[in-house]
Amino acid sequence: MAEGRAAAAELEPAILPTRRVELKVKLLTIFVVLTNVFGNLAMSWGMKHQTAELGVSPLPYIRLIFSPWVLLGATLLIFWLLSRMALLGWADLSFVLPVTSIGYVMNAVLGKYIFGEAISWQRWTGTAAIVIGIVLVGLTTANTTPASAPEEAR
Amino acid sequence: MRWAMVAIIVGATALGDILQSYEMKRHAVSVNELRPNRWVRTLRNLARRWPLVLAVFLMAISFFAFMKLLTMADLSFAVPVTAASVVLETVLARVLLRESITAMRWAGAFCVACGVALLAM
């Protein structure tokens, strides 16, 4: 019994950092997904309720950014961009991309219930295929390449 | 016009993501640097790294093309169709970033690609 406890204590330092890294990756992934979904939602709402004529000139787009819904969407998408950047330092690109694709599904569902968009069976099947893809990738290891130490630790 | 916007979004996103992943793998951000009281310092450090600046520029192109696409298409079409970048980026991650992509991960990317094709129908 005592031997078992000693063996567990020896293993603990090796196991704990791994768990911490996994939790860190999971929490940041959730944050990345939520900022993306609600950012897109606010942007879409703002764009659907704008009346400006959009062409090649960037000026109408810049003016649009300062309308409340588009501004909220853009702010959330800035948080999405930065948090995703941090996540890419901790996990593979080929892991982050499919796993965060759950956002596509959430967007499709919100598009239906909030904007009343018609979603055909093809779109629902496509959404299901994306979910299966996410689950498959989620079962793999998050990082297969050695990431560097954080800047401050160097 | 709708598909031209999709092509711009996918191309710019793929290039931007490869640059971000490459640079963030070289110098990752620590949990401490994500605390609100250190955001300004962290942002200043990130802004000094040219691959990240170029990646943000590419993301801005993708963003404006996405805004234009939203005026032409439903949200439930516009957002999922841009998932085409997942397949392109998985291939680029293998070739350029030398990530080890297992059969399960390829299968996942393939499923996402099929999903995108169905959504685009």
Inter-chain contact B67–A54, Cβ cutoff 8 Å?
Answer: yes
Helix (H, G, I), strand (E, B) or coil at A99: helix
Report chain A's C-alpha Rg in angstroms.
Answer: 21
The segment with the largest mean pLDDT, out of B52-56, B79-83, B95-99, is B52-56
**What gap in Å lies between CA A25 and CA A29, rounded to an integer?**
6
Whether residue B38 lies within 8 A of chain A, CB to CB, comes out as no
Inter-chain contact A89–B24, Cβ cutoff 8 Å?
Answer: yes
Q: Is the pLDDT at B92 greater than 80, yes or no?
A: yes
Q: Is the pLDDT at B7 greater than 80, yes or no?
A: yes
- Among B21, B75, B83, the residue with its CB nearest the CB of A117 is B75
Q: Where are the domains of chain A?
A: 28-143
**What gap in Å lies between CA B46 and CA B10, rounded to an integer?**
24
pLDDT at A127: 83
Considering only CB atoms, which chain B residues are within 8 Å of A127?
80, 115, 119
User: Does the CA dihedral A120-B111-B18-B27 come out positive or negative?
Assistant: positive
Q: Give the whole-number percent of chain B exceeding pLDDT 90.
A: 12
Considering only CB atoms, which chain A residues are within 8 Å of B94?
94
Asked if B74 and A99 touch (Cβ cutoff 8 Å), the reply is no
Average pLDDT over residues B84-106: 84
Considering only CB atoms, which chain B residues are within 8 Å of A77?
63
In chain B, the residue whose alpha carbon lies closest to the alpha carbon of A131 is B112
Inter-chain contact B80–A108, Cβ cutoff 8 Å?
Answer: yes
Q: A77-127 pLDDT, tens per residue?
A: 888 888 888 898 888 888 888 788 788 778 778 878 887 777 788 888 888
Angle ∠(B52,B55,B56) on CA atoms, nearest 5: 90
Tokens of B78: 């516009």
Q: B47-74 pLDDT, tens per residue?
A: 888 889 999 899 889 988 887 888 888 7
**What gap in Å lies between CA A103 and CA B30, rounded to an integer?**
25
Average pLDDT over residues B14-40: 82
Instruction: Scan for tokens 């951000």, then name that residue.
Output: B29
Instruction: Identify the band that residue A146 occupies on the pLDDT scale cut at 50, 70 and 90.
Output: low
Whether residue B54 lies within 8 A of chain A, CB to CB, comes out as no
Q: Please tell me the number of Cα atoms within 13 Å of A67 on its side-chain side.
A: 18
Average pLDDT over residues B28-32: 74
pLDDT at A149: 47
Question: What average pLDDT does chain B have?
Answer: 83
